[in-house]
Structure 1
Amino acid sequence: MTKTQQFEQQTKALIDNIKKVCANFGLGNDGNEFKVITQVFLYKFLNDKYVFELKKLDKRLSDVDNWEDVFATFSEKEVAKLNMRLKPSVAKIRPDHFISSLFNSQEKPNFAEIFDTTLTDIAKDNSDIFSVLTEGGEKIVLFENLSKYVTDNRDQFCKAIVNKLVDFSFENIFDEKFDFYATIFEYLIKDYNTNSGGKYAEYFTPHAVSKIMARCLVNGEVNNATCYDPSAGSGTLLMNLAHQIGEDKCTIYSQDISQKSSSLLRLNLVLNDLVHSIHNIIKGNTILDPYHKQANGELEKFDYIVSNPPFKLDFSDFSADLETKANQERFFAGIPKVPAKKKESMAIYLMFIQHIMYSLKDDGKAAIVVPTGFITAQSGIDKKIRQKLIDEKMLAGVVSMPSNIFANTGTNVSILFIDKANKGDVVLIDASNLGETIKDGKNQKTVLTHAEEDQIIDTFNKKEAVDDFSVVVSYDDIATKNYSLSAGQYFEVKIEYVDITEQEFDSKVKGFETSLRNMFSESKTLETTILQRLGHLKYEK
């Protein structure tokens, strides 16, 4: 077992231990369980990160085993100087807020209050850097009182949590890279990634899809890029995009209507060394009130946009508010109708596509997960959007994914790639036959191999035509096909010819004649038998 694998096992074991504590105190499968687990995990991570950075700055702390005793001798002035030298992305933790301090305070009365105060004080001390904003400007801070979610034995609950944290350290894994933290993050929220009562209802974008989107969007050196997701969820797409560009070469912007999503995205940013972007994470309604704007009030334009928007949603309470002149340009193809009987089936994703097209810079690029039906719809808003993409030459390509690539939705999906600078050909890929089907809980899920992921990415980036897999077509070709973006409609129908001799030809013809004569004979026999039996039928009352 490698060092990284060992750390991964230990980190997952910590998460499991926190979940066990929650279960033992009545929070198992409770809607608030995820708040406790994610916030405790983040507290531990920030605590250890602070200590890790202190030790790098001062050898008196790094060269001894009892660093806390040494640190306790530092004056307030010395601590303040060290804090000033820390990177802005490091949360400042007071000595009395260390996990070790909590551990040593367990015998004090009202320990739950001490525990809660520790977390809320850390949140206040670091609110300028680590707070998520609502569209109204309210700050959602790092931590809240967690003991309130337990009805009885709150002191014992908080002690049990601290006891799970004290013997574990993140210090050995801060040098790990994206793949490690992506795995840990997915494990951290895996029990809340279902659409059922009390669970975190987010469609978690599979890493294969996220990786394909990022690597097809970013192909070469990029600097100072702005990256945006208008329906960010927990940030899987943004994290893959930032990793492909370089975490220090991009700034993240997002908006999502869910406070849970925004909190989890913040955690994802902390884990992936993107703390500098936390103040751009907005909790709010993107379609009704997009937050990110320029100084003149116009919507901000971005270099890269990624999105896996909700496909269907009841937007009936807000749709009338969108019928304004200001939104006519943004929603150029129109606003989907609200179904009279099933309001929740309103095709909200069509509004996200239009919002994304409007929010791109003149040379911007985007990748959007869409229902595969979008790429061939013969009328309505779907076709109007495709027509604009073709007529204004801003489509890079489409990748149609295998069925069940998302385990929790049966909708077939494709990835729509937009590139406002692409005035050349368009690549269309049909990857629907790739992958293998596995069981994921009660659902079937299709999983791509790394080789298949690379096949899609390389074919797209090289704009290669591969038999029965991909085609490279012009904008004019697409227009003549009624703006269809389905690769299958452009595949050539090939008929294979085999040279045979005259004798082989005569032999095959005679074989066909013999077979037909036999079938005709059997048909006559069957005809006679049926007529005879019909003649014997009699009417009886």
Structure 2
Amino acid sequence: MSEEQKRLLEQQLWNIANTLRGKMNADEFRDYILGFIFYKYLSEKMEIFANDILKQDKIKFRSITAKTPKANEFLDAIKEESLERLGYFLRPEELFSEVAARGQGDNEEDVEKFDERKTNFILEDLQKILTNIQLSTMGTESEEDFDNLFEDMDLNSTKLGKTPQARNAIIAKVLTHLDKIDFNLNNTELDVLGDAYEYLIGQFASGAGKKAGEFYTPQEVSKILAKLVTTGKHKLKSVYDPTCGSGSLLLRVKREVKDVAMFYGQEMNRTTYNLARMNMILHGVHYRQFDIRQEDTLEHPQHLDKMPFEAIVANPPFSAQWSANPLFTSDDRFSQYGKLAPASKADFAFVQHMIYHLAENGIMAVVLPHGVLFRGAAELHIRKYLIENKNYLDAVIGLPANIFYGTSIPTCIMVFKKCRENPDDILFIDASNDFEKVKTQNILRETHINKIIDTYRNRTAIEKYSHLASLKEIAENDYNLNIPRYVDTFEEEEEIDIQAVMREIKELEAKRADLDKEIEGYFKELGLVF
């Protein structure tokens, strides 16, 4: 997609967002817009698939009505194939564009001039269709993947409008807006829909502030994590994210290799869990290729029977609270360390959980607050065990401050491997000063990302940027991993010529004395005391 096409798409999407702006919070209208985009995708995918089946019969799926000869035979055959291949089924009259056209009623194409009195009432039909998508999967392999996907789209919410007619008009307007966008699903080289979805998630994240951390990792950070865990790999058997949010990290890994056989993720927040499943399907991941579960990862891990995983990425909630229940000391994920992460800071609990799930030939990259590098007590004990006993830590990368939504704190990436090619040292990279400031947010550009990745993959020591620290050096620092201990970024101040400064001061004092005399003369002329 060209830059011009991309800008046009983003403008169209933002026009849709503005239709609901002011009626509800960004994280609320996000659920409606992304839900309708998902419904549009399912419709278009269904129509393309059905038309392909019907090609030999020389009819189009959309043209099948109750009056069509053998209509039920056609629909039953398509449904059977669709449930097997796509995982769901929609009838011709349930297609997005059909519903959008009915809703538009007698209004003109210009949605800005929509008159609610001219729209047709579609809310009840639309609610039934969204329910029918889920019902069509009942008893099939895809049932769990489509279960309650549209539950956050309450079409009767008064936030959409005080009356059913007002709500109907706003929904009809959104559908008409969306219907005009061609997602080019026939062109497998383009991912217009995926780009649109990611763009909107990013926009909503920036508007949702602190809440955004629950569901979105900035794309440039996702790109770094994905490139790190795919180092030296062209195909992956599996990739896992224990705090997957909207699934953007998992999907970013998909872009870095030729093939990922299976995606695994877990997410605690119900709405975000729905977003993740939609996001996987929208990006062309077959329902049999992903397993996203909803539960608290630390308290109730869901993929113990699916591990180990070849690549693991995560951006867990920073310093979150967890139970630190003493029973976990006998849990295989934590038992070997001898200590649990503190209840007030679950950072290392996530690290331990992920390491337990990591394959022997796998790579794991996790975003964490800087505190994990130097905090003492139980965290020092775990840190020391990971380095001294296991030698799993491969690299520590310091990122700039203010690159995450909702927090301005600087963060770091820790990279772990169970079988390290370079077991005698740990690479430290200080990329905290490499960024571009855009409005209130710091942004990592492609050059910044490439520098980090090239330095990691080549394990290059660069003055004031990276350092290869021996295990002995780290032990001498008592396993404190604070990056400035290993990467000296100190810039010497320019030497000051004291004699030159004194001469300049004397010259200024002489000038001031002359100026005082001149002013005193003016005062005398005016008969004033200076």
CA contact (8 A) 2:46 2:89 kept: yes
**Residue 364 of structure 2: SS of its match in structure 1?**
strand
Any gaps of 5 or more consecutive residues in structure 2? Answer: 106-118, 507-530
Which letter does structure 1 place at the counterpart of 2:238?
T
Which letter does structure 1 place at the counterpart of 2:43?
N
What does residue 460 of structure 1 align with? 456
Query: Would the alpha carbon gap of residues 309 and 21 (structure 1) be closer, same or farther in structure 2, given more than 3 Å must change?
Result: same
261-270 or 172-181, which deviates more: 172-181
Kindly provide the CA deviation profile for residues 427-447 of structure 1, in whole angstroms up to 9, marking residues without a partner as x. Answer: 2111112112221xxxx3221
What does residue 42 of structure 1 align with? 38
**Whole-Å separation in 2 of the counterparts to 1:190 and 1:85:** 37
Query: Would the alpha carbon gap of residues 479 and 194 (structure 1) be closer, same or farther in structure 2, given more than 3 Å must change?
Result: farther
1:229 deviates by 1.0
**Whole-Å separation in 2 of the counterparts to 1:188 and 1:173:** 24
Any gaps of 5 or more consecutive residues in structure 1? Answer: 339-345, 497-511, 523-541
RMSD: 3.7
Kindly provide the CA deviation profile for residues 451-480 of structure 1, in whole angstroms up to 9, marking residues without a partner as x. Answer: 121111011001111111112233333223
Query: Would the alpha carbon gap of residues 388 and 363 (structure 1) be closer, same or farther in structure 2, given more than 3 Å must change?
Result: farther
Please say if 1:28 is aligned against 2:28.
no
What does residue 149 of structure 1 align with? 157
**Whole-Å separation in 1 of the counterparts to 2:282 and 2:490:** 51
What does residue 437 of structure 1 align with? 437
Query: Would the alpha carbon gap of residues 312 and 477 (structure 1) be closer, same or farther in structure 2, given more than 3 Å must change?
Result: closer
**Residue 337 of structure 2: SS of its match in structure 1?**
coil
Please say if 1:479 is aligned against 2:479.
no
What does residue 257 of structure 2 align with? 245
**Residue 140 of structure 1: SS of its match in structure 2?**
coil
1:149-228 alignment, distance < 5 Å: 149-150=157-158, 151-152=162-163, 153=165, 154-171=167-184, 174-177=187-190, 181-182=194-195, 184-188=197-201, 190-193=203-206, 202=214, 204-228=216-240
1:82 deviates by 4.4
Kindly provide the CA deviation profile for residues 181-228 of structure 1, in whole angstroms up to 9, marking residues without a partner as x. Answer: 24642324522555569x656263221211111112212334452211
1:2-401 alignment, distance < 5 Å: 4-5=2-3, 7-9=5-7, 11-23=9-21, 27-29=23-25, 32-59=28-55, 68-69=62-63, 75-84=71-80, 88-89=85-86, 91-103=88-100, 105-106=102-103, 111-126=122-137, 128=140, 139-142=147-150, 146-150=154-158, 151-152=162-163, 153=165, 154-171=167-184, 174-177=187-190, 181-182=194-195, 184-188=197-201, 190-193=203-206, 202=214, 204-246=216-258, 248-276=259-287, 280-294=291-305, 300-315=307-322, 318-320=323-325, 322-323=327-328, 325-326=330-331, 329-330=334-335, 332=337, 334-338=339-343, 346-377=344-375, 379-391=376-388, 392-401=390-399
CA contact (8 A) 1:368 1:415 kept: yes
Which letter does structure 1 place at the counterpart of 2:239?
C
What does residue 508 of structure 1 align with? none
CA contact (8 A) 2:214 2:317 kept: no
CA contact (8 A) 2:202 2:218 kept: no
Kindly provide the CA deviation profile for residues 114-172 of structure 1, in whole angstroms up to 9, marking residues without a partner as x. Answer: 11101110121135465557xxxx94344576322234124434433443344443235
**Whole-Å separation in 1 of the counterparts to 2:386 and 2:192:** 34
1:43 deviates by 0.3
Q: TM-score, normalised by structure 2?
A: 0.77
**Whole-Å separation in 1 of the counterparts to 2:126 and 2:326:** 45
**Residue 262 of structure 2: SS of its match in structure 1?**
strand
**Whole-Å separation in 2 of the counterparts to 1:223 and 1:376:** 36
**Alignment: residue pair count:** 474
* Identity rate, percent: 22
Kindly provide the CA deviation profile for residues 340-365 of structure 1, in whole angstroms up to 9, marking residues without a partner as x. Answer: xxxxxx21222111111222122322
**Whole-Å separation in 1 of the counterparts to 2:340 and 2:241:** 20
CA contact (8 A) 2:212 2:406 kept: no
